[in-house]
Amino acid sequence: MKPEEKPKPPASALFDKFIGSLVYLGAAILAFFTLAVCWDVVSRSVFRVTLTWVLEFTEYALLYMTFLCTAWVLKNEGHVVTDLLLVALNPRKKAFLNTVTSILWAFICLVLTWVGADVSWDHLQRGLYQPTPIQTPDFPLFVIIPIGSFLLFIQFLRRTKKNLQKLRSCSANPNQNAPSPAAERR
């Protein structure tokens, strides 16, 4: 821990551990389905037997991996960013823009959580299945969307708080409001 950092509140540290464990679950899913696809290829080539479930469940695994890992990726700022505008801004303006976009995305994730939960619940009540050879129930497939979206909502709120702190810090220290080095090179 850096000397200037305060210890994290227990709830924040617990959330970090939780989303970190979901990344391991996502990695395990990826490893399993990588082996399953390889086995399916060998099985088709050598034994002329197709494993019907592999393709269908690999598609579902991609959905699960995405929603299990997305909050952790955001926490580590590992997502793709088009920073053409951001590099030209001073720290205060950058913190302001990041705060606004984090609030906007938190709202979008909250809507996605609500709608995803509503659709998942509806499909559970109606007992709907995927129209595929395996006929997988819809609810287990859809429920990861509101769960992952809610975790992402929480992480966007945390990101908003972090950027608000940066914004306050920039306001308290006006010397930080100089243009970024990238902007000065232009």
Distance of CA 70 to the CA centre of its chain: 1
Virtual CA dihedral for 116, 74, 27, 37, nearest 10 degrees? 60
Q: Integer distance in angstroms from the first to the last C-alpha of the chain? A: 36
Structure tokens at 51: 């494993």
Reduced to 3 states (helix: H, G, I; strand: E, B; else coil), residue 129 is strand
pLDDT band at 170 (very low <50, low <70, confident <90, very high): confident
Q: pTM of this prediction? A: 0.85
- Quote the CA–CA distance of 120 and 138 in Å, as a whole number: 7
Only one residue has tokens 């920039």, namely 170
- Quote the CA–CA distance of 165 and 177 in Å, as a whole number: 15
* 82-95 pLDDT per residue, tens: 788 888 889 999 99
In one-letter notation, the amino acid at residue 4 is E
When mean pLDDT is compared across 3-12, 66-75, 123-132, the lowest value belongs to 3-12
* 100-138 pLDDT per residue, tens: 999 999 999 999 999 999 999 999 999 999 999 999 999
pLDDT band at 180 (very low <50, low <70, confident <90, very high): low
